[in-house]
């Protein structure tokens, strides 16, 4: 029982951490541009194919991983420059539709240039191993996901609190024009937000593909849907909300998988997205309240 | 005199658009080519669906990614009503015989309307909640609804056969029937746009609060346009079901949603003409691309001298072209090909679109100039 | 030559023209008031200076450089710091972070620390609430923060848009005392206000805007001497009354 619980905790913390990173990448862009980036999942795909192609080199895996993350960051920056900057001043709906088009474009480019079939990139052998602590068996993949996600969250928190760009990113989510009136360059802040979004997607991709063990043109769909759920539930305009939403969803997912009968689990997506609709209707600001009370304004 | 001219120009739009549909139908009929006829029939169903999307998006200014949920509902519910119990044994083997639905059997045209009505009932209920949302929240909610309906359809074997393909549906949707429904959709869409409700709704999308303050019930009108749109989507699904004859829930999902959104955005969401022009032009381009893809891949397979130099198999090329076209339109001409105008004769007409409707989906954007 | 010279700017929002031919100048070390009723074009003039709104016609020159078409971030870097209407502090950032962001363009870390120290001494309440979210400050405290944040960029010129709006009478007094202090420190200030009486007490010169045009330009005494203006604007704050017609 205790061992079950320990395994559950590690799995849930690992998955929750990755979901939190995923949601953060979505929310950090949304906060500033009011753009819900549908094409965000394709950044995971880009990193996945990065792993596939760079993985053919003789370099150690860690380099492959870093370069793949870099691919996602570059893809995010290119996406911003080419597709989103020209529609920056349009309505949120127009931007959302643009990102839908970008997503379709990238998926089909992968289909055309690479292959519709799943491709297996080189992964470190240790990903399939597990460790034993007494009676507790813990997957290395889970454990490394847990550690990396927590390190990434801490690093991002430090960045957002201690650097001027970080402050500017948070301030821009409050009031973009006013942030510019502090002398902060709009293009720089937006590029930084997209770069972080690519970084998050890239990190998630390593573990996501570590789990699926192959990459396909549509591999980004599930991560982006998860990011939607987590960020809507946590609150679209709150970074803290994204993290909370990610962990809640991680625990929920593992919990449902572990304890719910299979045929009920089949309706999991329906239930999760039903919750999304409900939250949008009943509590559009998400479950996490801002640190400051609105009444005081 | 000006009234007469304006009346002529008002009537001319639906006439021109119906004329385009009729002309294409006649050409397809005269050619008598089965493949071409299939392409045109699908195109007409897409015209219907794009106009349905326009009825909501063009008038309310809100984006919906959820319309295909209603196409799905329309498609499945129409076969519940059109198939005989014997046919249901084949198409929907999991439906219990003691169900009321099992014994229902109506003529095709009735089943099509019932498909629309089923979509309408579901849409009307969910719409009561949805019309409270604004902007991107609305779009995400509709998108979430698509996923909910999709995943229920994948599991609820009694009414959909789950993820497996329903088969053995009689082919009832002919070129003529598709053309008639496309024209009906155009007439309804245009009449709605020009109606008092349509006018007020379009005025309200610029500023919901201002509209509310002068006594315009924005949510009610939004709901009405939503209901009309989902009914048309249901009908479209029913027609498609009885044309394609076999399908599964996978055929009512993201790429299909993308296609009708692309058609509307490329044509221009602010006018019915935009919807029709978008649907027709995207359909023609993608059919051309598909043939190109096929002959390319065929040449490659045969290993002819040309085939050897073709570096890869062409997949997804059509979607790439459509997506690129869509991004270009959004960037360079956000109001689409038609730019918010209707096709009309005489060309200059009163009540031409207000300057503000040049925005592609008709929402006022952030005034922030983040250049 | 003036530090800031606006010449005949016109701003339209769609069919509505908010500013139609406003000209004004501000000299180094001067406090200039911009007054008028709601909708007279004061805020639009302000937004034009900081680059949030682009005038369709006219010129804005700041120490020899044209500001028309410049982005807000560039304009701040030239030495103009705005205190916007409604304070516009960053509510989810702490007081400290708001101040640090005010110095976003400053490279000299030591100088930034000195400035933080200086302004939190000047506004003790900010020191008290240093690590707290700015959104939880009261209206008056937020106004202090907005001013301090603007000063963090070490501006040559301060633009203040309705700093007294929505504050209690006591706090309004505090804000004007603050402006007086800043004036005495030698800061150049362009002050947009509806509180005409208090504005006239602290400015060197004043411009009165009405329906997008400059209706009066001169010293506070000259304005007071004009009876019609006095009647229209000064009695009981006189903000809601109909605009005065020129004599």
Q: Where are the domains of chain B?
A: 2-357
Residues B264 and B278 sit within 8 Å (Cβ to Cβ)? yes
Which strands, in side-by-side order, build the sheet including C157-161?
C80-83, C157-161, C188-193, C31-35, C205-210, C213-218
d(CA B54, CA B361): 10
In chain A, alpha helices (H): 2-33, 40-54, 61-79, 92-113, 140-162, 164-174, 176-180, 186-212, 221-234, 239-259, 262-265, 268-282
Distance, first Cα to last Cα, chain A: 50
**Which has the closest alpha carbon to A160: A176, A146, A177, A173?**
A173
Chains near B (3 or more Cβ pairs under 8 Å): A, C
d(CA A220, CA A71): 15
In C189-233, alpha helices (H): 196-202, 220-225, 227-229
Check CB contact of C88 with chain A, cutoff 8 Å. yes
- Lowest-confidence segment of A143-152, A275-284, B59-68 by average pLDDT: A275-284
d(CA A128, CA A124): 8
pLDDT above 80: residue A245: yes
Return the CATH number at A281: 1.10.3470
How near does any CA of chain A get to the CA of B104, in Å? 28
d(CA A264, CA A254): 14
Radius of gyration of chain B (CA): 21
d(CA B6, CA B312): 55
Tell the residue number behind the tokens 């370069």, with chain if given: A67
More confident residue, C164 or A149: A149
Q: CA C153, C159, C161: angle at the middle one, nearest 5?
A: 125
- The pLDDT, as a whole number, for residue A28 is 95
d(CA B273, CA A234): 41
Tell me the pLDDT tens digit for each residue of A16-66.
Answer: 999 999 999 999 999 999 999 999 999 999 999 999 999 999 999 999 999
- The pLDDT, as a whole number, for residue B351 is 45
A137: which DSSP letter?
A: E
Query: Tokens for C24?
Result: 């004004």
**Which has the closest alpha carbon to B252: B74, B123, B101, B35?**
B74
Task: Please provide residue C161's backbone torsions phi and psi, each rounded to the nearest 5 degrees.
Answer: -105, 110
The structure's pTM equals: 0.89
A125: which DSSP letter?
A: G
Task: Please provide residue B349's backbone torsions phi and psi, each rounded to the nearest 5 degrees.
Answer: -135, 155
Arch. (CATH architecture) of B2-357: Orthogonal Bundle (1.10)
Residue % of chain A over a pLDDT of 90: 67
Residue of A nearest to B365 (CA): A91
- C-alpha distances (whole Å) from B212 to each of A145, B132, C196 are 50, 13, 35
Closest CB to A104 among B63, B147, B258: B258
pLDDT above 70: residue A1: no
d(CA A249, CA A44): 19
- Lowest-confidence segment of A74-83, A152-161, A274-283 by average pLDDT: A274-283
Half-sphere exposure of residue A159, counting CA atoms within 13 Å on the CB side? 12
Measured between beta carbons, which residues in chain C are less than 8 angstroms from residue A178? Answer: 84, 88, 90
Element (H, E) at B124: helix B108-130
- The pLDDT, as a whole number, for residue B367 is 33
Q: Provide the chain A residues 156-175 that lie in CB contact (below 8 A) with chain C.
A: 161, 164, 167-168, 170-171, 173-175
d(CA A150, CA A17): 7
- C-alpha distances (whole Å) from C7 to each of A58, B183, C20, C59, C60 are 67, 58, 11, 5, 6
Residues B130 and B138 sit within 8 Å (Cβ to Cβ)? yes
Per-position pLDDT tens, chain C of length 247: 789 999 999 999 877 888 999 999 999 999 999 998 888 889 999 999 999 999 999 999 999 999 999 999 999 999 999 999 888 999 999 999 999 999 999 999 999 999 999 999 989 999 999 999 999 998 889 998 999 999 999 999 999 999 888 788 888 888 899 899 999 989 999 999 988 888 999 999 999 998 899 988 999 999 888 866 666 665 444 443 334 333 3
- The pLDDT, as a whole number, for residue A255 is 85
d(CA B198, CA B357): 14
Judged on CB neighbours under 10 Å (0-12, 13-18, 19+), B362 is buried
Closest CB to B314 among A104, A107, A112: A112
d(CA B57, CA B222): 10
Closest CB to B144 among A83, A87, A276: A276
Residues C179 and C163 sit within 8 Å (Cβ to Cβ)? yes
**Which has the closest alpha carbon to B201: B222, B186, B215?**
B222
Cβ contacts below 8 Å, chain B against chain C, sum to: 4
Half-sphere exposure of residue B345, counting CA atoms within 13 Å on the CB side? 6
Residue to mutate among A182, A190, A235, with most C CBs inside 10 A, is A182
d(CA A279, CA A287): 8
Measured between beta carbons, which residues in chain C are less than 8 angstroms from residue A296? Answer: 135-138
How near does any CA of chain B get to the CA of A4, in Å? 30
Sorting pLDDT into bands at 50, 70 and 90, what band is A137? Answer: confident
- C-alpha distances (whole Å) from C190 to each of A285, C30, C42 are 38, 8, 11
Measured between beta carbons, which residues in chain C are less than 8 angstroms from residue A297? Answer: 91, 135, 142
d(CA B221, CA B205): 11
Domain that holds residue A176: 2-296
C20: which DSSP letter?
A: E
**Residue A62 neighbours by CB under 8 Å, 6+ apart:** none
Contact at CB, A104 and B140, closer than 8 angstroms: no
Check CB contact of B369 with chain C, cutoff 8 Å. yes
Residue to mutate among B359, B366, B369, with most C CBs inside 10 A, is B369
Measured between beta carbons, which residues in chain C are less than 8 angstroms from residue B371? Answer: 71
Mean pLDDT of chain A: 90
Which segments of chain B have a pLDDT < 50? 349-371
Bridge partners, A109 (sequence order) = none
In chain C, alpha helices (H): 42-49, 72-77, 95-102, 109-122, 124-128, 139-151, 169-184, 196-202, 220-225, 227-229
Judged on CB neighbours under 10 Å (0-12, 13-18, 19+), B325 is middle
Contact at CB, C133 and A164, closer than 8 angstroms: no
Bridge partners, C31 (sequence order) = C189
Tell the residue number behind the tokens 């500033």, with chain if given: A32
Residues B253 and B68 sit within 8 Å (Cβ to Cβ)? yes
d(CA A13, CA C83): 45
Residues A288 and A234 sit within 8 Å (Cβ to Cβ)? yes
Chains near A (3 or more Cβ pairs under 8 Å): B, C
**Helices B272-302 & B2-31, crossing angle to 10 degrees?**
20
**Which has the closest alpha carbon to A239: A164, A189, A172, A179?**
A172
Judged on CB neighbours under 10 Å (0-12, 13-18, 19+), C85 is middle
Query: Tokens for A252?
Result: 């929920």
**Residue B267 neighbours by CB under 8 Å, 6+ apart:** B50, B273, B274, B275, B276, B277, B278, B279, B281, B282, B336, B337, B338
d(CA A107, CA A116): 10
């Amino acid at each position: 029982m205790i061992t079950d619980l320990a395994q559950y905790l590690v799995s849930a913390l690992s998955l929750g951490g990755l979901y939190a990173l995923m949601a953060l990448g979505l929310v950090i862009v949304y906060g500033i541009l009011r753009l819900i980036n549908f094409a965000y999942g394709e950044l995971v795909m880009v990193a996945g194919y990065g792993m596939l192609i760079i993985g053919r080199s003789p370099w150690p895996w860690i380099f492959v991983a870093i370069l793949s993350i870099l691919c996602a960051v570059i893809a995010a920056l290119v996406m911003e420059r080419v597709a989103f900057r020209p529609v920056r001043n349009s309505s949120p709906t127009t931007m959302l539709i643009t990102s839908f088009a970008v997503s379709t474009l990238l998926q089909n480019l992968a289909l055309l240039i690479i292959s519709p079939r799943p491709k297996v990139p080189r992964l470190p052998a240790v990903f399939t191993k597990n460790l034993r602590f007494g009676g507790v068996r813990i997957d290395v993949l889970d454990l490394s996901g847990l550690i990396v996600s927590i390190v990434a969250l801490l690093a991002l928190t430090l960045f957002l609190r201690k650097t001027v760009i970080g402050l500017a990113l948070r301030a821009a989510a409050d009031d973009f024009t006013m942030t510019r009136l502090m002398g902060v360059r709009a293009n720089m802040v937006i590029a930084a937000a997209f770069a972080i979004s690519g970084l998050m997607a890239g990190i998630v991709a390593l573990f996501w593909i570590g789990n699926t063990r192959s990459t396909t043109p549509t591999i980004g769909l599930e991560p982006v849907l998860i990011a939607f759920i987590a960020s809507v539930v946590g609150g679209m305009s709150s970074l803290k909300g994204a993290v909370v939403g990610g962990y809640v969803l991680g625990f929920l997912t593992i919990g449902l998988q572990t304890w719910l009968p299979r045929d009920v689990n089949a309706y999991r997506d329906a239930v999760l997205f039903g919750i999304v609709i409900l939250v949008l209707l009943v509590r559009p600001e998400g479950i996490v309240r801002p640190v400051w009370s609105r009444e005081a304004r | 005199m000006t009234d007469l001219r304006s009346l002529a120009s008002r009537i001319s739009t639906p006439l021109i658009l119906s004329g385009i549909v009729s002309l294409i139908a006649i050409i397809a009929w005269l050619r008598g080519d089965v493949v071409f006829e299939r392409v045109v029939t699908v195109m007409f169903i897409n015209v219907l669906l794009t106009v349905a999307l326009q009825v909501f998006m063009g008038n309310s200014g809100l984006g919906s990614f959820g319309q295909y949920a209603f196409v799905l509902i329309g498609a499945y519910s129409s076969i519940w009503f059109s198939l005989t119990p014997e046919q249901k044994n084949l198409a929907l083997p999991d439906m219990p015989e003691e169900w009321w639905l099992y014994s229902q059997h109506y003529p095709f045209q009735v089943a099509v309307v019932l498909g629309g009505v089923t979509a309408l009932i579901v849409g009307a209920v969910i719409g009561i909640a949805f019309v409270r949302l604004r902007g991107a929240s609305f779009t995400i909610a509709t998108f979430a609804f698509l996923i909910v309906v999709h995943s229920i359809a994948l599991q609820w074997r009694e009414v959909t056969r789950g993820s497996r393909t329903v088969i053995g549906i009689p082919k009832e949707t002919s070129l003529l029937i598709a053309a008639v429904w496309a024209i009906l959709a155009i007439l309804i869409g245009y009449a709605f746009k020009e109606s008092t409700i349509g006018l007020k709704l379009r005025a309200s999308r610029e500023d919901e609060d201002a509209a509310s303050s002068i006594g315009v019930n924005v949510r009610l009108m939004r709901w009405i346009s939503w209901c009309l749109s989902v009914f048309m989507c249901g009908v479209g699904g029913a027609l498609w079901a009885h044309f394609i004859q076999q399908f599964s829930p996978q055929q009512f999902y993201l790429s299909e949603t993308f296609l009708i959104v692309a058609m509307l955005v490329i044509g221009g969401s602010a006018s019915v003409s935009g919807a029709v022009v978008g649907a027709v032009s995207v359909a023609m381009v993608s059919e051309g691309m598909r043939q190109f893809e096929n002959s390319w891949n065929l040449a490659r397979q045969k290993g002819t001298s040309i085939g050897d130099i073709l570096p890869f198999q062409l997949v997804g090329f059509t979607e790439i072209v459509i997506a690129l076209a869509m991004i270009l339109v959004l960037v360079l001409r956000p109001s689409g090909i038609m730019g918010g105008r209707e096709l009309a004769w005489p060309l200059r007409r009163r009540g031409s679109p207000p300057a503000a409707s040049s925005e592609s989906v008709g929402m006022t954007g952030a005034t922030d100039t983040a250049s | 030559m003036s530090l800031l010279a606006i010449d005949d700017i016109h701003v339209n929002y769609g069919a509505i023209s908010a500013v139609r031919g406003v000209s004004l100048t501000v000299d180094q070390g001067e406090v200039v008031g911009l007054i008028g009723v709601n909708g007279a074009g004061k805020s639009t003039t302000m937004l034009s200076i900081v680059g949030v709104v682009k005038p369709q016609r006219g010129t804005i020159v700041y120490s020899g450089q044209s500001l028309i078409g410049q982005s807000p971030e560039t304009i701040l870097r030239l030495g103009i710091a705005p205190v916007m209407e409604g304070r516009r502090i960053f509510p989810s950032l702490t007081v400290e972070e708001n101040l640090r962001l005010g110095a976003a363009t400053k490279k000299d870390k030591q100088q930034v620390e000195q400035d933080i120290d200086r302004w939190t001494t000047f506004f003790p309440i900010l020191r008290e609430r240093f690590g707290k979210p700015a959104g939880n400050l009261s209206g008056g405290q937020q106004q202090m923060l907005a001013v301090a944040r603007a000063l963090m960029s070490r501006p040559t010129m301060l633009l203040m848009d309705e700093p007294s709006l929505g504050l209690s009478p006591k706090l309004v007094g505090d804000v004007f005392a603050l402006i007086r202090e800043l004036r005495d420190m030698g800061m150049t200030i362009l002050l947009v206000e509806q509180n005409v009486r208090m504005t006239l007490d602290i400015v060197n010169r004043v411009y009165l805007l009405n329906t997008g045009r400059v209706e009066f330009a001169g010293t506070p005494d000259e304005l007071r001497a004009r009876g019609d203006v006095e009647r229209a604007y000064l009695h009981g704050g006189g903000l809601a009354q109909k605009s005065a017609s020129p004599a």
